[in-house]
Copies of this chain bind each other. A is one copy, B any other.
Amino acid sequence: MNTFGRQFRVSIFGESHGNAIGVVMDGVRAGIPLCEEDFMADILRRKSGKKGTTPRIEADEPQILSGVFEGHTTGAPLTVIFRNANTRSGDYSLFRDIPRPGHADRCASIKWHDFNDPRGGGHFSGRITLPIVAAGTVAKKMLGICPRATVTRLGGVSRAEALAGRTDDGSLSDQQIWNDVLDAALRERDSVGGVVECRIDSVPVGLGEPFFDSVEALISHAIFSIPGVRGIEFGDGFAAADMKGSEHNDPYGDNDPDGSGPLPSKNGAGGVNGGISNGNPLVFRVAFKPTSSIGKAQRTYDFSKGMMTTLETPGRHDACFALRTPVIVEAMAALVLADLAAVASR
């Protein structure tokens, strides 16, 4: 269902073109300083409006409905909502009959007997990741740890390749780095996918349980709840399947950050052994598919007329929504770790 977490529990709600979307966070520690402004930095990172992202710009203004008093969390459920305003629902009315390839239009119709809200993707919309980003802001405050996610690959071009022959003194945005890739996709009214890598330093040793709440199990559960994810791998990931044990295993090395003895070196395991955090940075990569909605003509079926047809998806879409996902990936990782940290503190 629409809830995640055991001790720090996040419930999301809302439809893309409904009255509002939002999140209820239960299990937030009392006494954390929090105001609406605190959400803005993360929200802005998710925002669209640059090349390769949808021109639909919402106000994305968070309203705290409950759980904060005099600038601090109260320990009661913390609710944040975002009103929907800038909607053009007319765009979406035909997808019940003529489902868009790559979208859930058809299986949602079957599952909910056509009662689901189809406007803007309804409850499936990537817009629902906005309250998740807000929950991530709170989770990071609870944790005192900041996951860091970056796009490492876009449209089949790695960051290194995209930067080849250019000067990136850190001033280039991802949109600028992959400018040519995005231009080509826009020209063709097509879209591209990407890979996001997330690294989390300073994870304490001992989070997670071997069965069934391993760190990887919970993070992958959360990450696959982001629309458009096709794969996840930790540490050496799929490459580990081609390695020998003597190559993949992390020998204990000379890195002893806190004097309690060395940690595994090399981090082929991505920071987790047996499902439990081992003191190394947590590292995982996420594969995002290309945006499903494209202007380019696609073959689909008209279920009302019972015949094949062709669709050029109208509406405003991201040419590469992966560009907007790093802060969402970080939020999901923070949700998991905040929950595990709450559980572990018993």
Contacts and interface: CB of A to CB of B under 8 A. Distances in A.
Contacts of A233: 230-233, 238, 287
Contact of A7 (B7, B103, B188, B241): B7
Given A102-B269, A107-B273, A229 B209 contact: no
Contact of A76 (B66, B117, B264): B117
A112 B30 contact: yes
Contact of A6 (B6, B251, B270): B6
A110 B305 CA distance: 46
A248 B290 contact: yes
A213 B27 CA distance: 12
A302 to B, nearest CB: 9
Interface residues on A, range: 35 or more
A289 to B, nearest CB: 4
Contacts of A213: 1
Contacts of A66: 13-15, 18-22, 123
A21 B216 CA distance: 23
Find the residue from A11, A119, A236 having the highest chain B CB count within 10 A: A11
Contacts of A250: 101-102
A204 to B, nearest CB: 9
Contact of A217 (B78, B224, B247): B224
Interface string A272-313: 011111110000000111111110101111010010100000
Instruction: Tell me the number of copies of this protein.
Output: 4
Contacts of A81: 65
Contact of A264 (B101, B124, B254): B101
Interface string A185-211: 100101111110000000001100111
B190 A77 contact: no
B104 A275 contact: yes
A159 to B, nearest CB: 13
A345 B344 CA distance: 10
A195 to B, nearest CB: 5
Nearest to A254: B308
Tell which of A113, A116, A246 has the most Cβ of chain B within 10 Å: A246
A147 interface: no
A277 B229 CA distance: 15
Contacts of A136: none
A107 B217 contact: no
A21 to B, nearest CB: 7
Contact of A15 (B24, B69, B232, B253): B69
Contacts of A64: 19
Nearest to A253: B299
Contact of A241 (B31, B128, B223, B287): B287
Shortest beta-carbon contacts, A-B, top 9 = A104-B274, A231-B233, A191-B245, A76-B123, A111-B206, A13-B77, A102-B249, A30-B115, A220-B220
Given A31-B112, A246-B294, 7 more contacts: A4-B212, A13-B78, A106-B252, A107-B276, A128-B210, A240-B290, A252-B299
